[in-house]
Amino acid sequence: MNTVETVYLGELRTQATHVASQNSIFTDAPVDNQGKGEAFSPTDLVAAALGSCMMTIMGIEARTLQIDLSETKISITKIMAANPRRIAEIKIQFDFPKHLDLSESQQKHLINAARNCPVSKSLHPDLKENLVFNF
């Protein structure tokens, strides 16, 4: 069974539907690459996927450690390169709720979980991942 079904809508826009849930997202080419920039670009989704994957894997580790990471915020910046056009760097900043009082050991477990998420392990090794953890 397919995971995602995508339709090209014209004007550099796509609609991708998650088969199991039927939820859809749209992509649009960015303004600096002939698009309107009215939705996530495909490379924006890669950056978002990396941040969401890291947070999800940290959430799994946090369950084991009996820590509630709710309301942790992630800021993601994607930096493009040319020749070839590609993602050169993704900067991710994790801002954990101030009420969390995590030990150094707990912090190390969460950082290790983030660095070993499946999306990170699937990306090209030349793509720089710049991570900041504000505990």
Is the pLDDT at 4 greater than 90? The verdict is yes
Query: The whole model's pTM is what?
Result: 0.94
Contact by Cβ (8 Å): 75, 50: no
Sheet holding 4-10, edge to edge: 4-10, 13-18, 24-28
Three-state DSSP class for 12? coil
Judge whether 116 and 90 are in contact, CB under 8 Å: no
* Chain segment 12-67, per-residue pLDDT in tens: 999 999 999 999 999 999 999 999 999 999 999 999 999 999 999 999 999 999 99
Structural domain spans, the chain: 4-33, 42-134
Give me the mean pLDDT over the 105-119 stretch.
Answer: 98
pLDDT for 43 equals 97
Is 90 exceeded by the pLDDT of residue 1? no
Q: Percent of the chain scored above 90 by pLDDT?
A: 99
Are 73 and 134 in contact by the 8 Å Cβ rule? The answer is: no
CATH architecture of 42-134: 2-Layer Sandwich (3.30)
